[in-house]
Amino acid sequence: MEALLKTSAPIVPLPTVVPSIEYQESGDVGNRTLWVVFVIMLISSLAFYIMAFRVPVQKRMFHILTAFITTFAMISYYAMAVHDGVSKNQIVIKESHKHTPDTTKTVYREVYWARYVDWSVTTPLLLLDLCLLAGLPGANILVAIVADVIMILTGLFAAFTVEEGPKWGYYAIACIAYLVVIYQLAFNGRGVVQNKDKKTATFFSAIAGFTLVLWTVYPIIWGIADGSRNINVDAEIIAYAVLDVLAKPVFGFWLLFTHDAMSESSSIEGFWAHGLAKDGAIRVGDDDEGA
């Protein structure tokens, strides 16, 4: 009996069939980052509103749009910092084994849906800044904004999709929509802005290029964060925080300081500055001359 035990093959433990659970959540570093960006967005918003009131109303369009961008971002970061703009997405990972039962692992990863609400509002406003700077026609502006909203919404759907196939399908749609945005700015925008003065054309090329480079990094971060979960939630928060600060406050200060310094800066008159003209206003209660 003793000899039999010595010659027996070693016992290999079978993998457990009880599913394991992993929680991917933000830590102190991520939470502090959210609060820091909230403060940055708050200070930037106040600065943009002050700058708006220091210029004539005809030249406030860019100031107001830019202030709205950081205002919505400020609200979004506050929501994420207090953990009201976050949900957990449940992902079940099945692992197959050759001679033993399959095992499963359930991952609960935080998805900051407030970030997508922010992007769905702020990125169209940012695009509007760039489109107005270039002088794009309304038809091109509409296409760019709609493509941008599609890009953000499909990113949100992908973040909450469990199945890998549909998830990356949404991601592909988002990337295609982003190519439409690039086309409107890089091709149509550059073509139209050439009709303006050289200083405006040069500035548009610089700030639009800066924006498109930053926006190209966003889907890369998404792919290694919400997409494949190759980085933790804290790293995801920090990466998006850096991009958001560059794409909103830094973009805003650059746009407004340069815009205010350009003597040929466009002035928007008409309804924006004066409301409906007297001749075009609807009058109620006036007697008709022919009555």
**Residue-wise pLDDT tens digits, 232-279:** 999 999 999 999 999 999 999 999 999 878 755 556 666 555 666 654
Going from N- to C-terminal start, the domains of the chain cover: 16-262
pLDDT of residue 280: 45
pLDDT of residue 110: 86
Looking at the domain that runs over 16-262, which CATH code has it been given?
1.20.1070.10
* Overall size of the chain counted in residues: 291
Alpha carbon distance, N-terminus to C-terminus of the chain: 123
Q: Are 120 and 36 in contact (CB under 8 A)?
A: no
Give per-10-residue mean pLDDT for the chain (291 aa): 51 56 82 96 96 83 94 96 87 68 76 94 95 90 96 93 88 96 91 86 92 95 88 93 97 91 62 57 49 44
Residue in 125, 115, 17 with CA at minimum distance from that of residue 63: 125
**DSSP string computed for 229-265:** --S-HHHHHHHHHHHHHIIIIIHHHHHHHHHHH-TT-
Long-range pairs, 153-159, Cβ under 8 A, ≥24: 153/116, 153/120, 155/116, 155/119, 155/219, 155/222, 156/113, 156/116, 156/120, 158/222, 158/226, 158/227, 159/89, 159/111, 159/113, 159/116, 159/222, 159/226
Measured CA to CA, the distance from residue 259 to residue 278 in angstroms comes to 31
pLDDT of residue 82: 93
Would strands 103-111 and 87-95 be described as parallel, antiparallel, or unpaired? antiparallel
Q: Are 116 and 152 in contact (CB under 8 A)?
A: yes
Model confidence, pTM: 0.82
Those residues whose C-beta lies under 8 Å from the C-beta of residue 272, and which sit 6 or more positions away, are 57, 58, 61
Measured CA to CA, the distance from residue 243 to residue 238 in angstroms comes to 9
Measured CA to CA, the distance from residue 74 to residue 210 in angstroms comes to 22
Those residues whose C-beta lies under 8 Å from the C-beta of residue 220, and which sit 6 or more positions away, are none
